[in-house]
Structures are given as structure tokens and as C-alpha cells.
DNA sequence: TCCAAACATTAGAAAATTATAATGTTATAA
DNA sequence: TTATAACATTATAATTTTCTAATGTTTGGA
């Protein structure tokens, strides 16, 4: 990796590195969800969710489809889903989620 | 993932999400390096490197072994190396490193 | 046309991160 | 024992992130 690649990679990792945004990715792995479904499930404010979704979209992780007054969010890229699955699998062994 | 797990995961991702720290991980994937080798290769100040290494150690990503006046850094956990390889592989297809 | 639901934007305070400069510590070699 | 190489710590300024509260926009239904 050259420095530019490391910077781009860091940006994507930063976009993932937040509890709410991780929750969004996790929920979207199940399939499309509306913004309301997301913030209700993840117990955060509507405003918070809107801002976090913006970050995920800007990094190309999430795509949004409009339908009437609602917006449906989905994971943008199947490669990213593979990345996330892989990451999640290894993190479970790396972090021993105990207590 | 529950919320606690998402917070722990976010912490690890944050620890990775920095160009210098990604560079450290990349170099250490080749094998042990001293702190000086790291900051010389990555073109950052000694102080900067010391601080970034502290972050990587705190998250359990890097281990440090002392030998005389030098310190040898290495990746702490083989599971993490697998995680990083996997992540890197998928990121290369996800981010199309072009410019 | 008017209201409400769904979502976005803005403003601003608090906290965290980043980076640099200066200084401190420790161990070895001379 | 003194100087130096290797590394750590501290202080601090600048920037970024996080979060909440308030307000704005758009769309569909009554």
C-alpha cells in the first residue's frame, strides 16, 4: 500500500468505526431497511441516524433508494459485505467478548 | 452483536483507521521491527510513532519486546493478522485504488 | 389545502484525535 | 562517568468527531 491507499483505507475503516454505524451495517446485512427502522432498532435519535447514514453513504458503504416519503437503505457493494463478514468472524476470535 | 460488542469492535477499527498505524501493521506483517525502523520507513516523527504504537498496543494489536536500548514491535495475535489480510484483500476490490 | 410522517440540515457545545515541539528516561559504548 | 542512541512523555494548538436540540423539507393522505 502506498500512502494514498492507506489514507483511503483509513477513511473506510473510520466510517465503520462507530457503534451505531456498525449496527446499521449489521442490520442491512439482513436486507433493506428504512431509516426509521434503523434508528428504532438501534435506539438512537432520528437526527443521529441521518447523520451516520450520510457518512456511510459518502464512503460508498450504503446506498439509498427513495420510495414515497420513505428511504430504503441497503449495503452498496457485495464485496463490502464479504469484507464485513470476514472481519466480523475474525474479530469474534480476536476480541473475546466476555463479561 | 450487542452494543458492548459493537463498542469494542469500533475501538479496534478506530485503532486501525489511521495511515501511519496501517503502515505499522503492514510492516509488522513482514516480521519484527524496531521503533526506529518503523518511523523511518513510514516517514513520520519519532514522537508520532511512539504515540501511534501506544494506541496499537492498548488495543492489543501490537506487542513490544525490549532488547537493550531498542524495542522490537510485532503483531500481537495471529488471528489479527488473518483479519488484516482478509480485510486488505477485500478492500482492494472494494476501493479501486486508482488516480 | 392542511396536517403529519419521514427524513435532512444546521448550529453549537463537548470530547476525542492529530500533530509538533520540547523535554524526560534509560541503557550502552567510549 | 559521560555522551549518545532509542524511545517515552508532556503540553498544546488545531482539527475532527460526537451528540443534542431545533428547525427545515418533502410527500402522501384526509
Question: How many domains are there within chain B?
Answer: 1
**Domain annotation covers residue B23:** yes
B47 touches strand C (CB under 7 A): yes
Residues making up chain A, counted from first to last: 99
CATH number, domain with residue A88: 1.10.10.10
Write out residues in chain B with pLDDT < 50, as ranges.
98-99
Query: Does residue B99 sit within a domain?
Result: no
Inter-chain CB pairs, A–B, below 8 Å? 103
Q: What does the mean pLDDT of chain B come to?
A: 92
**CA–C1' distance B4–C6 (Å)?**
29
In a domain, A99, yes or no: no
Residues of B in contact with A62 (CB under 8 A): none
C-beta atoms of A93 and B87 within 8 A? no
DSSP-assigned letter for residue A76: S
For residue B90, what are the CA distances in angstroms to A8, B43, B85, B94? 13, 27, 9, 6
Average pLDDT over residues A82-99: 77
Rounded mean pLDDT of A66-87? 90
Q: Which residues touch A75 (CB under 8 Å, ≥6 apart)? A: A25, A28, A29, A61, A62, A63, A81
| Domain extent at residue A73 | 3-94
Q: Give the separation between CA B71 and CA B62, rounded to whole angstroms.
A: 12
Mean pLDDT over A82-86 rounds to: 86
End-to-end CA distance of chain B: give it in Å, rounded. 37
Nucleotides of C under 7 A from a protein CB: 5-10, 17-23, 26-28
Amino acid at each position: 500500500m502506498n500512502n494514498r491507499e492507506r489514507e483511503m483505507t483509513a477513511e473506510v475503516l473510520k466510517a465503520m468505526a462507530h457503534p451505531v454505524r456498525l449496527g446499521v451495517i449489521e442490520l442491512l446485512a439482513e436486507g433493506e431497511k428504512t431509516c426509521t427502522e434503523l434508528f428504532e432498532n438501534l435506539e438512537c435519535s432520528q437526527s443521529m441516524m441521518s447523520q451516520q447514514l450520510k457518512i456511510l453513504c459518502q464512503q460508498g458503504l450504503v446506498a439509498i433508494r427513495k420510495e414515497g416519503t420513505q428511504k430504503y437503505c441497503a449495503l452498496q457493494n457485495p464485496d463490502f459485505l464479504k469484507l464485513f463478514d470476514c472481519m466480523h468472524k475474525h474479530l469474534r476470535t480476536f476480541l473475546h467478548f466476555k463479561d
